[in-house]
């Protein structure tokens, strides 16, 4: 069992489930993004998901696009992600995943990327625009390095795609709560519950739901049927508006959704 899966399993044993937090590396600058990641862990986050800024973030909403765009303008480079992972792991004992579009990995070199992520103490990679049957190079690299590989499944995914995501993923399967781009929503799409059921029927033992989760009530709702709840835009918005201290308060409030009643 990987560190990510073990952490999620432990939080489902001693709490309602796991709280996974997304933050972009390098926003508003590299040092602050490291402090921000440590702060949310200290506030109650169980697994960190660090996003690599990318010039064509087609799946990201306005809040995350603004943050990653600022990071790129401030000089973010892929190597900074590994520096951030190592720095975070030296300060808090938490699984750290990177989330990235596939092109930066290809440009950097798949094996080089995997080796440097593993050397930094990273737990694995979330690849939103890579499907398993086009990811042979990453499958091989992740096997060699022991990194988790997390693929996405959406409400529109065919049964074959759902099975493929389950069979190829290690750590958890990322269940997209609704069709569209990232961003906080008033209601997490009810399709997420159906999708998690389909993933479980296909053999998934660990599933986390993301896109649109932004309140402790939504975290609690998601954890009624999933193993983890992923929050991104609400945290990034808080960091942008009020800095690390505001972010920590927001993360602490969201973490209350994992408490057992």
Tokens 């989330």 correspond to 99
The pTM for the full model equals: 0.93
pLDDT of 31 over the 70 cut: yes
42 is catalytic: no
pLDDT at res. 61 = 78
93 is catalytic: no
Tokens of 155: 């409400």
Q: What is the per-residue pLDDT across 217-240, written as a single tens digit (0 to 9) for each?
A: 999 999 999 999 999 999 999 999
Q: Residue 226 maps to which CATH number?
A: 3.20.20.70
List CB contacts of 204: < 8 A, sequence separation 6 or more: 166, 169, 172, 173
Q: How far apart are CA 227 and CA 230, in angstroms?
A: 10
By the 10 Å C-beta count (0-12 exposed, 13-18 middle, 19+ buried), 66 is classed as middle
Q: Among the options 49, 148, 189, 221, which is catalytic?
A: 49
Short-list 50, 47, 25, CA closest to 172: 47
pLDDT at res. 191 = 85
pLDDT at res. 218 = 93
Residue-number span of the structural domain to which 221 is assigned: 3-258
Average pLDDT of the residues of the chain? 93
Q: What is the per-residue pLDDT across 158-212, written as a single tens digit (0 to 9) for each?
A: 999 999 999 999 999 999 986 444 444 445 567 899 999 999 999 999 999 998 8
Q: How many CA atoms lie within 13 A of 16 on its CB side?
A: 23
Q: CB of 120 within 8 A of CB of 85?
A: yes
H runs (alpha helix) in 22-148: 30-42, 62-73, 78-91, 102-108, 110-119, 136-145
Q: What is the per-residue pLDDT across 57-102, written as a single tens digit (0 to 9) for each?
A: 666 778 899 999 999 999 999 999 999 999 999 999 999 999 999 9
pLDDT at res. 97 = 98
Tokens 């660990």 correspond to 206
Strand order in the sheet with 152-153: 148-150, 124-126, 96-99, 47-51, 18-24, 228-231, 207-210, 173-176, 152-153
pLDDT at res. 57 = 66
Say how many domains are in the chain: 1
pLDDT at res. 190 = 78
Q: Among the options 14, 29, 35, 60, which is catalytic?
A: 60
pLDDT at res. 188 = 57
Average pLDDT over residues 8-29: 97
pLDDT at res. 189 = 65
């Amino acid at each position: 069992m990987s560190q990510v899966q073990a952490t999620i399993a432990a939080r489902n044993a001693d709490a309602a489930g796991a709280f996974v937090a997304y933050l972009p590396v390098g926003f508003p600058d590299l040092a602050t993004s490291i402090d921000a990641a440590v702060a949310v862990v200290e506030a109650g986050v169980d697994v960190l998901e660090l996003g690599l800024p990318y010039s064509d973030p087609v799946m990201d909403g306005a809040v995350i696009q603004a943050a990653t765009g600022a990071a790129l303008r401030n000089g973010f480079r892929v190597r900074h992600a590994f520096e951030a992972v190592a720095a975070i792991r030296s300060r808090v004992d938490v699984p750290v995943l990177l989330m990235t579009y596939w092109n930066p990995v290809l440009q950097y070199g798949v094996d080089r990327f995997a080796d440097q992520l593993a050397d930094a103490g990273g737990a694995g990679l979330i690849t939103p625009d890579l499907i398993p049957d086009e990811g042979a190079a990453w499958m091989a690299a992740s096997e060699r390095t022991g990194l988790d590989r997390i693929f996405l499944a959406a409400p529109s995914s065919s049964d074959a795609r759902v099975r493929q995501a389950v069979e190829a993923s290690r750590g958890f399967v990322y269940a997209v709560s609704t069709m569209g781009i990232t961003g906080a929503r008033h209601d997490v799409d009810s399709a997420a519950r159906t999708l998690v059921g389909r993933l479980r029927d296909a053999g998934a033992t660990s599933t986390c739901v993301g896109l649109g989760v932004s309140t402790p009530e939504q975290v609690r709702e998601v954890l009624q049927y999933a193993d983890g709840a992923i929050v991104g835009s609400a945290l990034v918005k808080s960091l942008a508006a009020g800095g690390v201290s505001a972010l920590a308060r927001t993360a602490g409030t969201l973490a209350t959704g994992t408490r057992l009643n």
